[in-house]
Structure 1
């Protein structure tokens, strides 16, 4: 016999209610026959088993429902995003752990608090409009704004939906909040990188345009230099001959010296044009340079000039070297780099007519040595900054406009970069950067002392062939060298020179390069194939001429640029023939 299950309070209550509902007209059990009672008992047993089975199914369903509810609560509470339920007034009714963590408070302390309290003041209107839009559209609305965790702001994305009641009135807002600070910071960083890249592209474009401009002017300069130097060489040669033939006539000599000074000024302009336009790097002639020493040397070299000028005007210039630190060496030509700094220094002092401060600083940055030279002068407008390195651009009444162009060309030739930063009334800063090298500073010596020619001796009857399509200049040279004891033959074209070289022997050929039909290079090529080769001297109006014939090993013994000192020509001839 089955043991009667223990009756609990719930079962007893259910039994009481069942008895109350028992109908009064129910047939008493005593009136039933034995067979009917057995049948009824059997039915009741079956019914009881069915009820127990249904109760078991209900208990299983309840367990599953409880497990599902717990799973939902876990997903809700421990989700990586914040879940908020607001009432129609925007007060927090429910919130999960992530939401509470975002706002930096315990969950129970946030209930019935307005969410707007945790919106940054600057974005309060944005939050109001976001809720309003969600109410009006009935759709999911998204916005990004700044929220507060204590007093620390963070970026958040809100996804909100308004929930209406049965009468279509909004009584709830379901909001999912995601902390997007990392994404926003990445976007800000990306924007900064893009701006930096755009700036670098702009600067690089300016450099390329400047380089193209220099390249074009360099080609033009080469042609101008050749023609102009030929003209100057004729004038200068004539003047030198007149000065030699009129010694003692001081009044005439003074006039000739004045004319000759103008010729030299013209030649200097051509040289300066070439300096800024020249693109190649004479790296084989560069030495390691301690930039800090060059700065001090340049300041000491220029001090007497600007100090005297300042004292004469009753003003004061201050040199600030506090920012000059020890940095790696750079490779270059010390004299050219000093010329760069002198140009910038002179411009700085001219921009400070009432006195001021000139500051120098050095640092190393990404494998480069950076030099900054700043003044407290009048500064430059934007247009001047864009044109300052252009040839012949100047804001001064009496100036060639080549100074800063030469600076630009020299810096580029040293593998460096130069930019200017300036504002009207706030001074200017020139920023120069050069590749750093790990070498000790070198020492350079000039090849000769300016103004002093090496002593020469009278030609001992050596035969010289002069080849130049400028007949006047050729005649000046012929007359001069003949007077110095040489036997000179002059021809004004390359074809005639080749004919003479086939018939006669010469000790030296003094030859121009740029000639029509047959050039000086062609003549050098013929000489290279001769059994008995004369010495070769080049006189040319081209600047930066290499003394090596392209594609050959033929070399000239010397190269002299036009216009030239006759004494320099004589010295070079004497030295080559002596060798």
Structure 2
């Protein structure tokens, strides 16, 4: 029974003879006389056909050889100038073939590379591991990967990744070599950065412990003398008030009010330091109602002021109710302070869209600010030029911390004399 290959060869031979017959017929009309029985004429015809077949085969062979040479040239270029080094090792680790990239990586001419042991280029302390790797490649018959330190020019360390697989005979293996020196340098730098980061984290933990100790000192030790001064001021005022002149009474009043301001500042500092440590409890918060409550409490402190509140209804958000109350206390409180010189105070609270997310805002018709100085607004204790409203200078810094803890951001818009608007997002 004929095999598929034999059938294909027979078909090719029949096609070749057909083409030869077509070329011969116009040249030798008498070739059609092969059926007359003239043996000489038949043999001449067969010889001519065979000659044409040979010429056609030679033409096919020349074309096939040219195509093969072109393909080989392309393959050689791709092999030699590939961005990855390719080489072949025998069982003894001797280099039998290598492309130009491999020679460049090893810093040696290719002609001098062939026939040398690859282990000669491996760093001394890495040679036992490379020998084990080569043995594993030749025995496993599967692709193996290893990172190896090489000596480029005998001294320069070069880190490479070698991927190798054995040929079917098991006598040689083909390998690819990739320069990973840059990657190793980055990994080493990353390790250093991780070490530095761990050290800084330790320092931060220590700093937080010190901060907690400082908070304790502020909340206990510093309050004690302030309370003492405050009490003595009241005692002196009650016992000796009638004996003091107006100047002394003024001094006593300033001392008393100074202790109150210091106590408020201590409370503010403690609240600011606790913001990042307070455990958050997320829930649905009615910001519209919360804003109304904040505004009404402010109105009670100065009922004589004309104020117009424009609070949008139905604004809700997901967050920590206590922290969000601090946000509105500070933002609406700022609007209240900076509109004190207006005949009519206008404070708005609403929500708009920012990049597909709800952005809440507090707007006022107060003194405003220069946008060139906007970055300073969120720096603790930073007061803008021309700002004369009372305050500790850390309210907006506190707001920014809370907003960031909710995964959002805050930004201002303003113009001197034309009011200000503070926007913030949550998550």
Rg (Cα) greater in structure: 1
TM category, shorter: 0.3 to 0.5
Of Structure 1 and Structure 2, the greater helix share is in 2
TM-score by length of 2: 0.47
